[in-house]
Amino acid sequence: MAKFLEMGGYAVYVWPAFAMAALVLIGLLITSLRTLRAREAVLKRLEAAERGADDNA
């Protein structure tokens, strides 16, 4: 296990490379999902308000 983590002495280069890739790709996924959910929530509220206004009109 320790030998694996050491990556033949290159650990200080290999693991940051993988970590950075994971950060960017997972980060993009999370941001995209959160923006989508937030916008869907706003749209839902707007459409509900519209329906409410139509009912009252």
Partner 1 sequence: MTASRLGHLTMSQRRSGSSLHRFANPSRFLRLSRRLTPWFAVLAAAFIGAGLYIGLFVAPPDYQQGESVRIMYVHVPAAWMALFVYTCVAASSVVSLVWRHPLADLIAKASAPVGAGFTAVALVSGSLWGQPMWGTWWVWDARLTSVLILFFLYLGHIALMNAFDDPTRGARAAAILAVVGFINIPIIKFSVDWWHTLHQPASVFRLGGPTIDVSMLVPLFLMALGFTFYYLLLLMLRVRSEIVARKIRTAQLLQAAP
For partner 1, the binding residues (CB under 8 A) are: 4, 7-10, 13-14, 16-18, 20-21, 24-25, 28-29, 32-33, 35-36, 39-40, 42-43, 46-47, 49-50, 53
| Dihedral class, residue 52 (left if φ above 0, else alpha if ψ from -120 to 50, else beta) | alpha
For 23, the token pair is 């950060």
Single-letter amino acid code for the residue at 44: K
**Nearer Cβ to partner 1 (43/56):** 43
> What's the min distance (Å) between Cβ of 30 and partner 1?
11
> What's the min distance (Å) between Cβ of 15 and partner 1?
9
Q: How far apart (Å, rounded) are the C-alpha atoms in residues 49 and 56?
A: 10
